[in-house]
Structure 1
């Protein structure tokens, strides 16, 4: 096994959801910034990057958001909280940015690959992400996918709910990268879904269509910060070969 794999294995093994953080231990807030910047490099659907990250740092903000996280110790004792936000509503802006970048890189596309990539972002992405208020276009897409899928493999999702789930998946991938990075930096984390997402949205002044994926507390772990030994279902019950 390569040395890098040994290091990564150690990081994964040592990462735990820490519920209590040490308030007096040294803490480098730059580690949070570095970890978010690494999270931005995470894989995400069509590279649309439909996410935002909010660092909760001030004493007043931490107190308010911790209350919105049901006053969990993982929130109340955290040195920082990071809110991961799914921004499906930004798809047009991101799509335009990607098209502009591709045109900068390729100029007038000449190869089949370049033309296919540009067509994907100029034509297919809008068709996938757009959904009218009544869900008619989403229903039509589902029907198209069903009939095309009778003869060949076909994407099966395309309505508003499907797209929403896809965007949250990407935000969750970024969250995992962030947590592993913080562990590599020598700090601990705890992802929280027990929260009042509506109040957090209002506090952050997010638009109506933005959605909070999760809140992650971080900092140096306290001695009693891990509540129990790690338990996982046996590998042979979850890993299969075909």
Structure 2
């Protein structure tokens, strides 16, 4: 390991160790709202399924709106004392728009390939993605059919089994969660604290933000400079031996 790699390792170790879910924020400390923007711009560089980027991030800076959403977060102090809130939203309904963006990009990066190789590369977005994200009816019939097809193919060769509507929902939330973690590490690198929250009235938050019915809130993140007592206890984790396995 060279000097630069050693410094990066130490810096990341410090971020991981110092990042905590801070539930009370200092109201007197100066807060750089631009740090939130910079951190979100890093968050969108996070890995995500098929590069579909079916996420949105809503910055809540207005005090009146922030107070209202704080109430919808069950009055958690991590929300009511936050200097800014970030609402992480997934948008599976935008799959066609994101698909087309990827198709346009793929046309550029495959331009040097022969026709056969280009068609094979493009088929991922022109054929597979519509089958996965499209035709997911509310009754779940299409999901059932897709699972049957996946199981049938899986008899003969390895096959992805998570192809139904609920599976796609899990996929987009996982991608948004990856971006959320990147955001929280970036905020820590900026010198600020965060707290991801799942306890909120999603229906009311969606309404106040004017989100469509197909949108879902992944989490709401409180941001600020931690106040004294903002970390409620020492960090507790199950022993590594109980969760890390080598085969």
Q: Distance in 1 between matches of 2:147 and 2:112?
A: 34
TM-score by length of 2: 0.95
Tell me the residue number matched to 2:138: 133
Match of 1:231 among 202, 227, 236: 236
Q: Please give the secondary structure, in 1, of the residue aligned with 2:226.
A: coil
CA contact (8 A) 2:151 2:161 kept: yes
For structure 2, the residue ranges without an aligned partner over 5 or more in a row are none
Residues 241 and 113 of structure 1: CA distance in aligned 2, closer, same or farther (over 3 Å):
farther
Q: How many residues align?
A: 242
Query: Are residue 209 (structure 1) and residue 214 (structure 2) matched?
Result: yes
Q: Please give the secondary structure, in 2, of the residue aligned with 1:190.
A: strand
CA contact (8 A) 1:109 1:115 kept: no
- For 1:104-123, what aligned pairs fall within 5 Å after superposition? 104-107=108-111, 109-110=113-114, 114-123=118-127
Q: Distance in 1 between matches of 2:191 and 2:119?
A: 45
Superposed CA deviations along residues 17-59 of structure 1, whole A, max 9, x for unmatched, are 0000001101111110011011000000000000000000011
Q: CA RMSD in A?
A: 1.3
Query: Are residue 44 (structure 1) and residue 58 (structure 2) matched?
Result: no
Q: Distance in 1 between matches of 2:201 and 2:224?
A: 22
Tell me the residue number matched to 2:99: 95
Match of 1:58 among 40, 45, 62: 62
Q: Distance in 2 between matches of 1:119 and 1:25?
A: 53
Mean Cα deviation higher: 69-78 or 114-123? 114-123
Tell me the residue number matched to 1:185: 190
TM-score by length of 1: 0.97
CA contact (8 A) 2:95 2:133 kept: yes
CA contact (8 A) 2:150 2:159 kept: yes
Match of 2:30 among 6, 18, 26: 26
Q: Distance in 1 between matches of 2:166 and 2:140?
A: 10
For structure 1, the residue ranges without an aligned partner over 5 or more in a row are none
Tell me the residue number matched to 2:72: 68
Match of 1:194 among 196, 199, 217: 199
Superposed CA deviations along residues 119-161 of structure 1, whole A, max 9, x for unmatched, are 1000100001111233222111101111111222110111111
Q: Please give the secondary structure, in 2, of the residue aligned with 1:89.
A: helix
Tell me the residue number matched to 1:12: 16
Report the Cα offset of residue 223 of structure 1: 1.3
Q: Please give the secondary structure, in 2, of the residue aligned with 1:34.
A: helix
Query: Are residue 241 (structure 1) and residue 237 (structure 2) matched?
Result: no
Residues 109 and 132 of structure 1: CA distance in aligned 2, closer, same or farther (over 3 Å):
farther
Query: Are residue 86 (structure 1) and residue 94 (structure 2) matched?
Result: no
